[in-house]
Amino acid sequence: MLESRELSDDDLREIFARFSSCEGEEIAQIYRPSHRRYFKNERLQDEYTLVEGKREFALDSWRAATSFLKRHGYAITKPE
């Protein structure tokens, strides 16, 4: 299960970028290395809002998504 897996900073950058991108084109942009929205360019230490940082936002997003999937009977696995 990925739930118990330690998330790397790149994992958190990708999660933050995906959850903060709402349109299909924006989501596609986060995977283009030449685009300013590229997920590996996210600086997790930069403040996202007045009350929460990007890292915490990404972790909360991850927890919410995995919790939702688990509650609905999905098994979350990563191919080896």
Q: How many residues does the chain have?
A: 80
Adjacent-strand bridge partners of 53: 47
Around Cβ 31, how many Cβ atoms within 10 Å?
14
Residue-range definition of the domain harbouring residue 29: 9-71
Residue 24 lies in a domain: yes
pLDDT at 33 > cutoff 90: yes
Q: What is the pLDDT of residue 26?
A: 82
- In total, how many domains does the chain have? 1
Residue 63 lies in a domain: yes
The better pLDDT of the pair 74, 33 is held by 33
Residue 77 lies in a domain: no
